[in-house]
Chain A
Amino acid sequence: MAALPKRIIKETERLIADAVPGISARPHEDNLRYFDVDITGPEQSPFEGGVFKLELFLPEEYPMAPPKVRFLTKIYHPNIDKLGRICLDILKDKWSPALQIRTVLLSIQALLSAPNPDDPLANDVAQHWKDNEPEAIAKAREWTQKYAENLVPPQE
C-alpha cells in the first residue's frame, strides 16, 4: 500500500482534533483509509435521537475521486437505500477535490435534515414521502427508535 498522502493525514488529524458537532470519524488502525463514522440525527428531523453508523473509505485516487460512504444502520430515508447507499451528488458527479471527509459528512448530516424525494434512490420510500409525508416521517422516526437509538451517541 502506498504511503498515506499528506492530505489524508492532515484531514484525519483535524477530524479528531477539531470534530464537527454530531459527527465522529475514526480511522481503522490497520487501514488508515477506512473510517468508522457515527452521525447523530439532526434536531427537528425524524432522525433526531438516533445515532447512525456509517463506513467511509478513501480510494487510492482520493482526493481526485470521491470517498465511498455507506450507512450501516438501517434508516428510512428517500435518498438512502436498503443497502445503505447514499444518493448524494458530491459523492458522484459533483465530487471536487476541494471537498474533504468533513464536508462530505456534513453534507450527509444535512441530507438527514432535508430529505429530497425528487431525486430518490429508494423509490418506494420516496413515493411514500411524496404521498403521505407525515406518515413517512413517523415511520422514519419509528425506524430511528428501532435501529438507531440503542447506540451510544458520538462524543462531541
Chain B
Amino acid sequence: MDLNSVVYVESVNSNLICCVCQTPFVDPVVIESCGHTFCKNCITQALLTRSTCPVDRSHISSVNEFRPAAKIIVNMVNELLTYCPNKNAGCTYQGQRQLLIYHLKEECMFAKLACRNEECGEMILKKDLSKHMESCKARMVKCENCEAKVQLSTLEGHKFTCPVKNIECPFCHTTRIQSEHTLHLEECPEKPVTCLHVEFGCSWEGRQCDLSDHIVSCSYEPLKGFFSMYKQRNEALEQENQQLRTNIQELNNTVDLLENQVSAMSDWLSNFTDPKGLSSNSEGQHLNSSAHDILLSGNDHIKNEIENLNFSLVDIDAIMTENMRMQEEIQSVKNICHGLRMQMHYLLMEKRGGEPSVGTTGSVVRTGLNGPIGIGRTVPPNANNSKSGHDTSLESNMRPPRSLGPESPRQEKL
C-alpha cells in the first residue's frame, strides 16, 4: 500500500514532513552531503530530473548518495497514529502507521478482496465476502434436475437445455423441474376445480384460486354438516344392504343344494312301494335333518295312506264276509232249487207213468218240500250243489217261482 496517502489522526510535526510529497516521511533517507531528509522514493524521483538537493539545490554526485535516516526519525514516523485507509468504508481502526499493513492484511473487515470466483471479478469487503460467496452470480450451483454443476448466471439458460425434461403446467403454462411439478399441480392457482360440495349438488366450477371466495358464498356451505351426517348414514345402510344381499345369496345356495338333495331323495324313494317306503324311511335316517323332516312328512303321508288302506281292508273284509254269507245263501237256494227240480222231475215221471229213477233223492226232496217257504235260509250247508241248468227248458219253466227271491240273478250266475 501507499503510505504516502494515509490519513493521520493528529497533525504531524513539520520536521517529519517530506518537502517533496508534503506528507510524513516514508522510509526516510538523508543526503550525506547536505543532511536533508526525504522519503526514499521522493528523493529518488527528484534526482532523476535534477541532481540537486530539493531544499538547498546543492549538487548531489552519483557517488555521494543518501543513507537511511536516523533511527529516531524512522521510529517517530512509524509510530504516528493513522486511520485505516478503509475509514470511509466504515473501519474505525486507529493505530501506529507501522501496524497498518498488518491491520489491512489480517484484521480489517473493510478491506476489499477479489471474489474467489474468477468470472465474478467483483471486489468485496472482507466482512461481506462469505455472504457474497453464497450469493455470487458466478458461483457454481447444482442443477436440481440433472445434478450437473452449473455456474449460477447460466443456470436459467441451463434449465431450458437441461437433459432432465422441464414439465409445463397444463393450467398456468409455467415450466418447472420434475421434482416441483407434482407439488405444483396440487397448488396451481389456475387449476380447474369443482366446489367442495359437488357431491351434494353444487355445480360451481372454476380456478383453484377462486375456490375460497366461492366457498364463502356457496349455499351448500352452511348445510355441509347435515349433508355429511346423512352421507354417513347412507353409507352405513348401503353396507348393511350389501351384507344382507350376501346372506341371501348364501341362503339361496343352501336352498338349491337342499332341493337337489330332496329331488335325488324323492327319485330314490319313488323306486320303492309304500311298504318299502316305510322301511326306507327308517333307512333314510342318515340323511341330514331337513331331508329327514321331508322324509318324516312323507312318512306321515304314507302312514295316512296305510291307515286309509287299512280301513279299506276292513271294508273289504266285511264285504267278503257278506259275500260268503250270500254264497252260502245262494248254495242253500241252489239246493232247494235242486230239491224242487228233483221233486218236479219225479212228479213228471209219475205223471208219464214211469217210475221215479232216483229213489234216494226222494227223501231229500221231501225234507226240502217246505224249503221254498223258508227262502233257502234254512237249507242245510251240506246240501248238494249239483249242477244246475242241465235242463234249461225245465229251468225256464221254473222261473216264475225263482223270481220270488231277491238273489235270483246271482243264482243264475252261480
Judge whether A63 and B4 touch: CB under 8 Å: no
Interfacial chain A residues near B302, Cβ < 8 Å = none
Contact-size category for B? 10 to 19
Interfacial chain A residues near B53, Cβ < 8 Å = 96
A64→B50 CA distance, assembly (Å): 9
The answer to whether B202 has its CB under 8 Å from any CB of chain A is no
Judge whether A97 and B5 touch: CB under 8 Å: no
Judge whether B5 and A94 touch: CB under 8 Å: no
A95→B20 CA distance, assembly (Å): 12
Judge whether A96 and B55 touch: CB under 8 Å: yes
A4-12, A17-25, A121-129: which lies at the B interface? A4-12
Which of B22, B23, B46 has most chain A Cβ within 10 Å?
Answer: B22
Q: Scan residues 48-67 of chain B and give those whose CB is less than 8 A from a CB of chain A.
A: 48-50, 52-55, 57
Q: Scan residues 90-123 of chain A and give those whose CB is less than 8 A from a CB of chain B.
A: 94-98, 100
The answer to whether B42 has its CB under 8 Å from any CB of chain A is yes
- Among B21, B48, B54, point to the contact of A7 (Cβ < 8 A): B21
* Distance of A57 from chain B, by nearest CB (Å): 18
The answer to whether A29 has its CB under 8 Å from any CB of chain B is no
A96→B4 CA distance, assembly (Å): 19
The answer to whether B104 has its CB under 8 Å from any CB of chain A is no
- Among A7, A64, A65, A94, point to the contact of B23 (Cβ < 8 A): A7
Interface string of B11-50 (1 = CB under 8 A from A): 0000000011111000000000000000000100110111
User: Which chain A residue lies CB-closest to B55?
Assistant: A98
* Distance of A89 from chain B, by nearest CB (Å): 10
Inter-chain contact total with CB atoms closer than 8 Å: 40
The answer to whether A156 has its CB under 8 Å from any CB of chain B is no
User: Which chain B residue lies CB-closest to A63?
Assistant: B20
Interfacial chain B residues near A30, Cβ < 8 Å = none
Query: What DSSP secondary structure best describes chain A's contact surface?
Result: loop
A52→B53 CA distance, assembly (Å): 33
- Among A10, A11, A97, point to the contact of B42 (Cβ < 8 A): A97
A6→B42 CA distance, assembly (Å): 13
Judge whether B57 and A61 touch: CB under 8 Å: no
Interfacial chain B residues near A7, Cβ < 8 Å = 20-23
| A96-B49 contact, Cβ under 8 Å, with A6-B23, A7-B21 | no
Judge whether B21 and A6 touch: CB under 8 Å: yes
- Among B22, B45, B48, B57, point to the contact of A96 (Cβ < 8 A): B57
Judge whether B23 and A96 touch: CB under 8 Å: no
| A61-B4 contact, Cβ under 8 Å, with A7-B21, A7-B23, A100-B22 | no
Judge whether A11 and B22 touch: CB under 8 Å: yes
* Distance of B13 from chain A, by nearest CB (Å): 16
Interfacial chain B residues near A10, Cβ < 8 Å = 22-23
Interfacial chain A residues near B45, Cβ < 8 Å = 64, 97
Interface string of A52-84 (1 = CB under 8 A from B): 000000000101110000000000000000000
User: Which chain B residue lies CB-closest to A11?
Assistant: B22
Judge whether A65 and B21 touch: CB under 8 Å: no
* Distance of B51 from chain A, by nearest CB (Å): 12
Judge whether B42 and A94 touch: CB under 8 Å: no
Judge whether A98 and B49 touch: CB under 8 Å: no
Judge whether A64 and B4 touch: CB under 8 Å: no
Interfacial chain A residues near B52, Cβ < 8 Å = 96
* Distance of B104 from chain A, by nearest CB (Å): 18
A7→B19 CA distance, assembly (Å): 10
| A98-B4 contact, Cβ under 8 Å, with A64-B46, A64-B49, A65-B49 | no
A2→B19 CA distance, assembly (Å): 22
- Among B5, B48, B50, B54, point to the contact of A6 (Cβ < 8 A): B5
A123→B88 CA distance, assembly (Å): 55
Q: Scan residues 79-105 of chain B and give those whose CB is less than 8 A from a CB of chain A.
A: none
User: Which chain B residue lies CB-closest to A94?
Assistant: B57
Which of B20, B52, B53, B55 has most chain A Cβ within 10 Å?
Answer: B20
A97→B54 CA distance, assembly (Å): 6
Judge whether A97 and B23 touch: CB under 8 Å: no
A-B contacts, 22 listed (Cβ < 8 Å): A6-B4, A6-B21, A6-B22, A7-B20, A7-B21, A7-B22, A7-B23, A11-B22, A61-B49, A63-B20, A63-B21, A64-B48, A95-B50, A96-B52, A96-B55, A97-B42, A97-B46, A97-B54, A98-B20, A98-B54, A98-B55, A100-B22
Given contacts A96-B53, A97-B46, A98-B55, 7 further A-B contacts (CB under 8 A): A6-B23, A7-B23, A63-B20, A64-B48, A64-B49, A97-B42, A97-B54
B residues at A contact (CB < 8 Å): 4-5, 19-23, 42, 45-46, 48-50, 52-55, 57
- Across chains A and B, which 8 residue pairs bring their CB atoms closest together, nearest first? A98-B19, A98-B54, A96-B54, A97-B20, A97-B54, A7-B22, A97-B46, A64-B49
